[in-house]
Amino acid sequence: MTPTARDTVLGRIRDALALAPAPATTVPRDYRTGRTLPDGERLALLTDRLVDYKARVHPCTADDTARVIAEVLAAHGARRIGVPAGLDEGWLTAYDGEVQRDSADIPAPGLDALDGVVTASAVSCAETGTIFLDGSPDQGRRALSLVPDLHVCVVSLSSVVVGVPEAVARLVPERPTTLISGPSATSDIELERVEGVHGPRTLAVVIRTDA
Amino acid sequence: MNTFLGMPATPPRSPYGTGNLRGDRKFPKAAHDELANGQLRRNLGRATSTIRTKRLVVTGELPDWEQLRDAGSAVKTDTMNRLPELLEQLEQKVTERGGTVHWARDGVEANEIVARLIRATGSSDVIKVKSMATQEIGLNEHLESLGITPYETDLAELIVQLADDKPSHILVPAIHRNRDEIRQIFLDEIPGVDPDLDNVPAHLAAAARAYLREKFMTTRVAVSGANFGIAETGTLSVVESEGNGRMCLTLPDTLITVMGIEKVLPRYQDLEVFLQLLPRSSTGERMNPYTSLWTGVTPGDGPQDFHLVLLDNGRTAALADPIGREALNCIRCSACLNVCPVYERTGGHAYGSTYPGPIGAVLTPQLAGMDAAKDDPNSSLPYASSLCGACFDACPVKIDIPSMLVELRHQHTEQSGASAEKLAMKAAAAVMKRPKLYTAAQKAAALGRVVGGRDGTITHLPAPFDGWSDSRDTAAPPKQSFRSWLASAEGAATLRAAAEEGVLPATDAHTEDQ
Residues of chain A positioned with their CB less than 8 A from the CB of B291: 178-179
Whose CA is closest to B87, among B103, B72, B75?
B103
> Please, what is the average pLDDT of chain A?
96
Q: Nearest Cβ partner of A13 from B182, B250, B316?
A: B316
| Chain B, nearest residue to A106 by Cα | B300
**What are A8-67's pLDDT values in tens digits?**
999 999 999 999 998 889 999 999 999 999 999 999 999 999 999 999 999 999 999 999
Residue B31 lies in a domain: no
Cβ count near B189 (within 10 Å): 15
The Cα of A59 is separated from the nearest Cα of chain B by a number of Å equal to 21
- Does the beta-carbon distance from B301 to A141 stay under 8 Å? yes
Split into its structural domains, chain B has a count of 2
Residue B483 lies in a domain: yes
Residue B27 lies in a domain: no
Which structural domain, as residue segments, surrounds residue B180? 62-316
**Interface pTM, i.e. ipTM:** 0.97
Question: What local confidence, expressed as pLDDT, does residue B514 receive?
Answer: 36
pTM: predicted TM-score of the whole model, two decimal places? 0.90
Residue B422 lies in a domain: no
- Does the beta-carbon distance from B295 to A174 stay under 8 Å? yes
User: What are the structural domain ranges in chain A?
Assistant: 38-208
- Does the beta-carbon distance from B295 to A171 stay under 8 Å? no
The Cα of A78 is separated from the nearest Cα of chain B by a number of Å equal to 20
CA atoms of B101 and B106, how far apart (whole Å): 15
- Does the beta-carbon distance from B289 to A18 stay under 8 Å? no
Residue of A14, A141, A198, A201 to mutate for B, most B C-beta atoms under 10 A: A198
Residue B309 lies in a domain: yes
- Does the beta-carbon distance from A185 to B268 stay under 8 Å? no
Q: Nearest Cβ partner of B83 from A13, A27, A197?
A: A13
CATH class, domain A38-208, is alpha beta
Residue B263 lies in a domain: yes
- Does the beta-carbon distance from B178 to A112 stay under 8 Å? no
Whose CA is closest to B316, among B87, B113, B98, B146?
B87
The residue out of B287, B316, B345 marking a domain boundary is B316
- Does the beta-carbon distance from A191 to B294 stay under 8 Å? no
CA atoms of B350 and B23, how far apart (whole Å): 8
The Cα of A63 is separated from the nearest Cα of chain B by a number of Å equal to 30
Q: Nearest Cβ partner of B261 from A9, A128, A129?
A: A9
Q: Longest Cα pair distance anywhere in chain B, in angstroms?
A: 91
- Does the beta-carbon distance from B320 to A169 stay under 8 Å? no
Residues of chain B positioned with their CB less than 8 A from the CB of A22: 77, 80-81, 322, 325
The Cα of A186 is separated from the nearest Cα of chain B by a number of Å equal to 6
Beta strand pairing status for B457-458 and B305-311? unpaired
The Cα of B36 is separated from the nearest Cα of chain A by a number of Å equal to 20
Strand ranges in B233-289 using DSSP code E only, listed in sequence order: 235-240, 254-260, 264-265
Residues of chain A positioned with their CB less than 8 A from the CB of B80: 22
Q: Nearest Cβ partner of A17 from B243, B269, B319?
A: B319
- Does the beta-carbon distance from A186 to B205 stay under 8 Å? yes
| DSSP-derived secondary structure for B300-358 | TBS-SEEEEEEE-TTHHHHHTSTTGGGGGG-----HHHHH-HHHHHH-SGGG-SSS-HH
Band of residue A193 on the pLDDT scale cut at 50, 70, 90: confident
Q: Nearest Cβ partner of A186 from B75, B102, B242?
A: B242
CA atoms of B77 and A90, how far apart (whole Å): 51
The Cα of B121 is separated from the nearest Cα of chain A by a number of Å equal to 18
Q: What are A133's strand-pairing partners?
A: A178
**What are B374-388's pLDDT values in tens digits?**
899 999 999 999 999
Residue of A2, A35, A147, A191 to mutate for B, most B C-beta atoms under 10 A: A191
Same domain, B105 and B239: yes
Question: What local confidence, expressed as pLDDT, does residue B465 receive?
Answer: 66
CA atoms of B290 and A159, how far apart (whole Å): 19
| Chain A, nearest residue to B207 by Cα | A197
Question: What local confidence, expressed as pLDDT, does residue B467 receive?
Answer: 64
Q: Nearest Cβ partner of A25 from B11, B77, B104?
A: B77
Cβ count near B385 (within 10 Å): 24
The Cα of B299 is separated from the nearest Cα of chain A by a number of Å equal to 9
Q: Nearest Cβ partner of B81 from A22, A189, A190?
A: A22
The residue out of B281, B316, B351 marking a domain boundary is B316
Question: What local confidence, expressed as pLDDT, does residue B513 receive?
Answer: 40
Residues of chain B positioned with their CB less than 8 A from the CB of A165: 272
Residues 6+ apart with CB under 8 A from B466: B460
Q: Nearest Cβ partner of B269 from A9, A168, A196?
A: A168
Q: Nearest Cβ partner of A179 from B216, B290, B300?
A: B290
Q: Nearest Cβ partner of B295 from A22, A125, A173?
A: A173
CA atoms of A184 and A132, how far apart (whole Å): 15
Question: What local confidence, expressed as pLDDT, does residue A14 receive?
Answer: 97
Beta strand pairing status for A123-125 and A130-133? antiparallel
Residues 6+ apart with CB under 8 A from B80: A22, B262, B319, B325, B328, B329
Question: What local confidence, expressed as pLDDT, does residue B21 receive?
Answer: 97
Residues of chain B positioned with their CB less than 8 A from the CB of A177: 292-294
Helix (H, G, I), strand (E, B) or coil at B235: strand
A5 pLDDT more than 90: yes
Residue B303 lies in a domain: yes
- Does the beta-carbon distance from A9 to B316 stay under 8 Å? yes
Question: What local confidence, expressed as pLDDT, does residue B509 receive?
Answer: 41
CA atoms of A42 and A46, how far apart (whole Å): 6
| Chain A, nearest residue to B312 by Cα | A9
Beta strand pairing status for B235-240 and B290-295? antiparallel
- Does the beta-carbon distance from B87 to A49 stay under 8 Å? no
Q: What is the mean pLDDT of each run of 10 residues along chain B (514 residues)?
A: 69 96 96 92 90 96 98 98 97 98 98 98 96 97 97 94 91 90 95 93 93 94 98 98 96 98 98 98 96 97 98 98 95 97 95 97 96 90 96 98 96 78 74 78 68 66 66 74 86 87 59 39
- Looking at chain A, the whole-number percentage of residues with pLDDT higher than 70 is 100
Residue B398 lies in a domain: no
Contact pairs from chain A to chain B, CB under 8 Å? 275
Residues in chain A: 211
Question: What local confidence, expressed as pLDDT, does residue B416 receive?
Answer: 78
The residue out of B316, B334, B355 marking a domain boundary is B316
What value does the mean pLDDT take over residues A153-163? 98
Domain with residue B262: its CATH number is 3.40.50.10420
- Does the beta-carbon distance from A173 to B233 stay under 8 Å? yes
Residue of B40, B271, B313 to mutate for A, most A C-beta atoms under 10 A: B271
Residues of chain A positioned with their CB less than 8 A from the CB of B243: 146, 184, 197-200
